[in-house]
Amino acid sequence: MYPKVINIECLEDFLLKLKFDTNETKIFDLKPYLNKGKFRELKDQFIFRSAHIAIDTVEFSNGVDFDPELLYQKGI
C-alpha cells in the first residue's frame, strides 16, 4: 500500500508541502518537471496554485496529476 496525500500547501518557487496519511510531511519540488509536456503549464501561477487532492494524490486544474508514490519517494 502506498501513502496517500491528505493535505497540500503551495509554496514559493514551485514547491508543494504535502502531508501523507502516514502523518509525514514532505516538500516536493516541481521544477524538474516544468519543461516536460503538459507539465509546462504549471509555470502559470494560477494553474500551479490550483493544486487540490484528487482521490489520493495532487491534481491541477489543467488535468495534470502526479503518482502519489513519486510524490512520497521524491519528497524531502
The per-residue DSSP string of 17-66 comes to EEEETTS-EEEEE-GGGTTSGGGGGGGSHHHHTT-EEETTEEE-TTS-B-
- Whole-structure pTM over 0.95, yes or no? no
Domain annotation for the chain: domains and CATH numbers? 1-55 (3.30.2020.10)
Specify burial of residue 31 (Cβ count, 10 A radius: 0-12, 13-18, 19+): exposed
What does the block give as the cell for 7?
A: 493535505
* Mean pLDDT in order along the chain per 10 residues (76 residues): 94 98 97 96 97 96 96 97
Residues 2 and 65: their CA atoms lie apart, in Å, by 16
